[in-house]
Amino acid sequence: MYGDIRPDMEAQMQSWESRHAKVREQASQALVMAARGKKDAAFEQSMRAEKSAMQAKLTGKLGIDWKRRPTAPECRKVIGALVALPVP
């Protein structure tokens, strides 16, 4: 599938791609919720997407202070950054 890559490297790539797909799916769900006016649900979904991205080591910290509820511009920043992740 990936040319002359060792089988263990190919498995790592497939694992990375599946984690990446999960994050993109969560981010797109957050956008849909926001578009439908479900701001609280969109906020929660965007936070889940950011946490998944951090766990998968796909993105760095996006500047959210976890001790307080992020503002709407911060939520848009998170969603935008997650949706903008490159497609492998």
Q: Where are the domains of the chain?
A: 7-57+67-83
Cβ contact 62:76 at 8 Å: no
Task: Report the half-sphere exposure of 83 (CA within 13 A, side-chain side).
Answer: 14
What pLDDT shows up at residue 28? 79
Tell me: pLDDT of 60 over 60: no
Average pLDDT of the chain?
Answer: 69
Residue 40's pLDDT band (boundaries 50, 70, 90)?
confident
